[in-house]
Each structure stands twice: as C-alpha cells, then as structure tokens.
Amino acid sequence: MATSANSRVTAVYAEALYEAAAGSGVAETIRDDIDSLRGLLAEYPAFARLLADPKIEADKREKILDQTFEGRVDRRVHNFLRVLNRRWLLGSLAAILAEYVRVDDQRRLNRREIEVVSATDLDEAMLGRIREGISAWGGFEPVIRVRQDSSLLGGLRIRIGDRLIDASVVGQLERLRERLKEGLRTGEATTTK
C-alpha cells in the first residue's frame, strides 16, 4: 500500500500533467496517450519493471523512453516521462497515471468511480437503475465497479469517494443491534435513577 508521502507525490505529478494538458488545450490527446500508456504497462509488466529498475542508469532509461515514445505520444507526455525518469519516479508511473485518469474523469469528463458491492450478481437492468439513481443524485456520470460479497446476505453497499451507503442486510442488522444496545443503556440509566 502506498504511503501518504507517495500518495502526495503521485497527486502532485498527476496534477502537474493535468494542468499542462488542460492549459494547452490538448486534454483529449493526452488522455488518449495516458490510456495507451496504462495499457502498455499492464500488458508488458517487464517493461514497467525495466523503467523502474534502479540499477539502470537514468541516461540509459532516457534513451529507452526516447526510442519507445518519441513521436508516438504527445511531446508533453514524452517530456513528462523524462522528468519522472530524472527524478527516479518511474516506479510510481502506474500510480501517477491512475491518479491522472481520476482527476481527468472528475474535472473534464464529470465522472466518478463508484464501487457497488452486492451479495449476488447484478444484472444490467439493476446496474442501469443504480447508474441512473446515482447520476440524478450526484449530477455526475458514475463509472461503476462491481464486487460480489456473499457475507452481505442481501442488499448493496455503494461507495462514492469517502461516502458509504450501506443498504445491505448485514448493515441493517448491525444498525439495529447498535440501536438496541443504546436503548438498553438508556433504559438501564433510567431505571437506576
């Protein structure tokens, strides 16, 4: 798991690239390059390890970056990769690119990632209703990531950023248990007076 210092570095560099893209009017082009680069790193993890290898001198990695990306991606993306290389941050490249996508989704595309956890499989009709409800409530386009967790027994848990909406059976039972405990404490305090 990334430390808070790594998270800050990731956020700072992603923000810098986003500002460069937005400020120069090439946000869509740079997003396409970022998406392609993320795909490349996912498809070829050995290449990602090569770029992050501290045993390889920065000059040699820069040559690899130039041979691989010069003329194939926007010059701002290429220069950005070179800056990360000089600062020994290519090991954080995947995290920086993921943060860039998150920022671009929120600011330019008005999208938010939503996690939906369900006890059972959700069909497309149900996902459509969830998507419409969240969109109407939040005013943004939800990008839904679904996860199944049979321990919920039924219902859903929906996470939107730091907010958790727990409509699961387990969540409802837990809230009921807490209310009963509180009622018993309050009732006990009342009878002892």
Span 41-60, pLDDT tens digits = 999 999 999 999 999 999 99
8 A C-beta contact, residue 134 and residue 113: no
Q: What is the pTM of this model?
A: 0.68
- Share above pLDDT 90 across residues of the chain, in percent, rounded to a whole number: 52
Does 191 score more than 60 pLDDT? Answer: no
Compute the distance between CA of residue 135 and CA of residue 154 in angstroms, rounded to an integer: 23
165 or 67, higher pLDDT: 67
Q: How many CB atoms lie within 10 A of CB 78?
A: 17
Mean pLDDT (whole number) for 176-181: 87
- Confidence (pLDDT) at 176: 87
pLDDT-derived band of residue 185, with 50, 70 and 90 as boundaries? confident
- Confidence (pLDDT) at 134: 87
The H or E element that residue 48 is part of is: helix 45-52
Complete DSSP assignment for 69-105: HTTTS-HHHHHHHHHHHHTT-GGGHHHHHHHHHHHHH
Highest mean pLDDT among 4-8, 38-42, 112-116: 38-42
Mean pLDDT (whole number) for 64-72: 95
Compute the distance between CA of residue 66 and CA of residue 70 in angstroms, rounded to an integer: 5
Does 1 score more than 50 pLDDT? Answer: no
Q: pLDDT per residue over 135-162, tens digit each? A: 888 888 888 889 998 888 888 999 988 8
Category of 29 on φ-ψ map: left (φ > 0), alpha (ψ -120 to 50) or beta = alpha
